[in-house]
């Protein structure tokens, strides 16, 4: 496995970090407190072409390799976990169109998604359906030249601002994927507030009441909504979330080191305390380990190795549990200050926990990983 970055990838990493420090970090606290992304920050991301990171250049994207795309998600995650989630769901929708859409769908939507003219979102979860994705209750019925969608989606990241949604609905009793534009009659969204972490992901409920869309808006075929479209999107989502976890952990680590150097207790800096040094050492090792797992999954994706699916499960599982531990230790190092929103580690701690739930919970990943092992050994 090759993990050494090329000169081009190193240059991208430096540019990503500089962008995040200048354009993202200064707004991260505002995003959390106001539970919304500053439109000016989204515009900056669009200007850089980052929303087209996984879209091929022939459709107007930047066509980043999978490792570089991962590094982008790490750096954005280091600055603002909520903003990074935009990259995930926008990319999931674009990926569905790229892999499973018709040529007309690719031509119509991918250039606009790459330029940020429209924002995308992925809608699978429902009030009664989470991990048991095949049991979605939203329905789609063919009526002449249109599909009629009825149902509710919940916890939809960027649902408040997205223009185009990938909706998984039951059609002829089988999960099927559809493209639904925000302006369609019978479609509306309701903002959700009070999230524990990643508060600026602008989640929403989606309501479809006899929402009519052209029959050409189906993605793939009837019955392939999960087995093909959904699972490939979720694989991409897990990969980017894993990288985002590394970024958030890195931010907590850097804040902890700086604080431990400056904070004086008992006449000496915290960094002289052996137990503090133990936590810092564990942070370092765990972050490096998670990053290597992400590099490995990304490399396998880039070369088209089917083992990337399993390795992505492993990377997402480890990175999401790792970031929970790292950010918890960061709060501990900050002590009382770590519980105050004037210090970023409080936000990192809350943001971290969300990653153990989105794109497959920790427990679902344990089931997936163990099942794979017993099938292949």
* Structure-block tokens of residue 64: 């980043």
* Structure-block tokens of residue 74: 């790490």
CA 145 vs CA 100, 135, 142, 179, 215: distances in Å: 20, 26, 7, 15, 6
DSSP 375: H
Residue 124 host element (H or E): none
Phi, psi angle pair for 208, to nearest 5°: -120, 115
Taking the alpha carbons of 214, 92, 20, 255 in that order, is the dihedral positive or negative?
A: positive
Please pick, among 75, 205, 356, 359, the residue that the annotation labels catalytic. 359
8 A C-beta contact, residue 97 and residue 109: yes
CA–CA separation, 1 and 301 (whole Å): 12
CA 105 vs CA 53, 113, 317: distances in Å: 19, 12, 33
Q: For this structure, is 359 an active site residue?
A: yes
CA 313 to chain CA centroid, nearest Å: 14
**Residues with active-site annotation:** 359
């Amino acid at each position: 496995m090759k993990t050494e970055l090329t000169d081009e990838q190193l240059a991208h990493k430096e540019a990503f970090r500089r962008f995040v420090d200048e354009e993202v970090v200064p707004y991260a606290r505002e995003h959390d407190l106001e539970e919304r992304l500053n439109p000016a920050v989204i515009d900056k991301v669009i200007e850089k072409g980052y929303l087209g990171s996984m879209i091929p250049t022939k459709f107007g994207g930047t066509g980043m390799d999978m490792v570089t795309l991962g590094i982008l998600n790490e750096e954005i995650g280091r600055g603002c976990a909520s903003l990074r989630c935009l990259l995930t769901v926008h990319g999931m929708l674009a990926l569905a169109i790229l892999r499973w859409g018709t040529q007309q769908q690719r031509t119509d939507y991918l250039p606009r998604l790459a330029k940020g003219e429209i924002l995308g979102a992925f809608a699978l979860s429902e009030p009664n359906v989470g991990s048991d994705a095949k049991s979605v209750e939203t329905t789609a019925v063919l009526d002449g030249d249109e599909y009629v969608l009825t149902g509710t989606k919940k916890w939809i990241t960027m649902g408040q601002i997205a223009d185009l949604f990938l909706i998984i609905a039951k059609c002829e009793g089988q999960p099927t994927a559809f493209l639904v534009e925000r302006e369609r009659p019978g479609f509306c969204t309701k903002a959700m507030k009070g999230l524990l972490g990643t508060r600026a992901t602008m989640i929403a409920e989606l309501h479809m009441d006899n929402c009519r869309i052209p029959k050409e808006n189906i993605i793939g075929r009837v019955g392939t909504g999960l087995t093909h479209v959904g699972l490939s999107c979720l694989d991409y989502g897990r990969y980017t979330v894993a990288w985002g976890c590394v970024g958030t952990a890195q931010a907590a680590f850097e804040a902890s080191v700086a604080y431990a150097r400056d904070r004086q207790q008992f006449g000496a800096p915290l960094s002289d305390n052996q137990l503090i040094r133990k936590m810092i050492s564990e942070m370092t090792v765990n972050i490096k380990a998670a990053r290597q797992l992400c590099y490995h999954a990304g490399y396998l994706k880039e070369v088209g190795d089917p083992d990337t699916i399993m390795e992505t499960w492993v990377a997402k599982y480890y990175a999401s549990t790792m970031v929970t531990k790292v950010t918890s230790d960061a709060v501990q190092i900050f002590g009382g200050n770590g519980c105050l929103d004037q210090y970023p580690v409080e936000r990192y701690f809350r943001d971290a926990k969300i990653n153990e739930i989105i794109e497959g919970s920790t427990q679902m990943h344990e089931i997936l990983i163990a099942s794979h092992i017993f099938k292949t050994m």
